[in-house]
């Protein structure tokens, strides 16, 4: 059985680990915090049970979860056939991780990053044997979303780029190949431009988040509005992406107002903490933001 090491067990890493295990791969899920690993396993169990009950996953939750083990260290990199990094969106952290993973992994093991905004070539430089480094940009929630951008850095070999697209198809998802290694790739550049305008209009008091979301769904056929997407993704992750995009002078992709940064300071991180642009009840149901909290 092929083995996958997933580095970072947050919203994205846990989802990536889950879809790999659902397809029969053996998965080591790594994070620096044991409580994050424990929570990831609990969330995975609940998600697989739900998908299994709807007939969307044929193996039982026990069978799927038996393929996942957790580790606070990276030694599993030496045996891994695929390594997918999904740690915080911070350049220095990812450079350190790619340098270490590059040292530990076999030379032919593809090293993928799920980064939202950092050019893959920067990570490839840190890893040694840069031809094996690529972007696999999953969309969240990973068990439900069908798209993965496969990103080729200038250093990525054609063979690894092709293997990336094949791996995505094996996971039951659709690859979109991105042949130019630019910050935010394609989909996040398009989304960030929409989000920049939407959050500036909200910050200026022109419109509410709910009305923008309704408008984008009814007017443009989006399945979810930009503020629903932002709450699901985590506003702290959005703030980290903004820091990196600003450092690259990608001002067209970053809001002019600091609305998201202020919300992060107030602890409004989105769905995972029960409050963001919306409030969420214990059952996860979304409500317009209450003025009280
Ligand atoms: N949230 C989204 O919708 C989304 C979508 C696509 C891509 N991404 C990208 O995926 C990555 C992860 O995002 P997320 O939303 O899962 O963030 P998250 O905050 O939910 O999880 C990040 C995890 O990384 C862990 N971590 C930090 N340092 C680490 C280290 N040295 N080794 C191992 N783990 C470490 C943290 O403990 C945390 O659990 C980011 O690069 C982000 O830009 C996010």
pLDDT in tens, 26-44: 999 999 989 999 999 999 9
Check whether 97 has a pLDDT greater than 70.
yes
pLDDT single digits (tens) 158-198: 999 999 999 999 999 999 999 999 999 999 999 999 999 99
CA separation, residue 170 to residues 103, 133, 152, 208 (Å)? 27, 19, 19, 41
Helix (H) or strand (E) holding 270: none
* The token pair that represents 219 in the structure block: 């007017």
- For ligand 1, residues with CB inside 6 Å are 7-13, 30-33, 36, 86-89, 93, 97, 114-116, 137-140, 233-234, 237, 241
pLDDT single digits (tens) 117-168: 999 999 999 998 999 999 999 999 999 999 999 999 999 999 999 999 999 9
Q: From CA 222, how far away is CA 238, in angstroms rounded?
A: 20
Q: Is 12 helix (H, G, I), strand (E, B) or coil?
A: helix
- 265 near 235, Cβ under 8 Å? no
pLDDT recorded at residue 293: 53
pTM over 0.85: yes
Check whether 292 has a pLDDT greater than 80.
no
Q: How confident is the model at residue 290 (pLDDT cuts 50, 70, 90)?
A: confident
- Catalytic positions are 116, 137, 149, 188
Paired with 71 in beta bridges are: 30
Distance of CA 194 to the CA centre of its chain: 19
Who's near 93: CB < 8 A, 6+ residues apart? 87
- 139 near 147, Cβ under 8 Å? yes
If you count them, how many residues does the chain have? Answer: 293
pLDDT recorded at residue 200: 96
What mean pLDDT value characterizes the chain?
Answer: 95
């Amino acid at each position: 059985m092929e083995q996958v090491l997933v580095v970072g067990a947050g919203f994205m890493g846990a989802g990536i680990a889950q879809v790999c295990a659902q397809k029969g791969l053996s998965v080591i899920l790594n994070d620096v915090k044991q409580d994050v690993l424990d929570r990831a396993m609990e969330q995975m169990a609940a998600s697989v049970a739900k998908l299994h009950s709807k007939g969307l996953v044929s193996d039982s939750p026990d069978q799927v979860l038996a393929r996942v083990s957790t580790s606070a260290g990276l030694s599993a990199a030496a045996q891994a056939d695929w390594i997918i990094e999904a740690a915080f969106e911070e350049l220095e952290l990812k450079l350190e991780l790619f340098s270490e993973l590059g040292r530990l992994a076999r030379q032919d093991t593809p090293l993928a990053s799920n980064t939202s905004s950092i050019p893959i070539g920067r990570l490839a430089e840190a890893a040694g044997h840069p031809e094996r480094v690529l972007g696999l940009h999953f969309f969240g929630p990973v068990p439900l979303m069908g798209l993965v951008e496969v990103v080729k850095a200038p250093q990525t070999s054609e063979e690894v780029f092709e293997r990336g697209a094949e791996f995505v198809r094996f996971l039951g998802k659709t690859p979109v190949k991105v042949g130019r290694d630019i910050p935010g790739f394609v989909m996040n550049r398009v989304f960030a431009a929409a989000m920049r305008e939407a959050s500036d209009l909200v910050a200026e008091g022109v419109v509410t988040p709910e009305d923008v979301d309704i408008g984008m769904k009814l007017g443009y056929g989006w399945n979810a509005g930009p503020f629903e997407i932002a709450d699901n993704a985590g506003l702290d992750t959005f703030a980290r992406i903004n820091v990196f995009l600003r450092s690259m002078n990608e001002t067209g992709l970053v809001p002019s107002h600091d609305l998201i940064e202020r919300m992060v300071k107030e602890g409004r991180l989105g769905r995972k903490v029960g409050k963001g642009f919306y409030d969420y009840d214990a059952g996860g149901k979304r409500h317009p933001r209450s003025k009280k909290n």
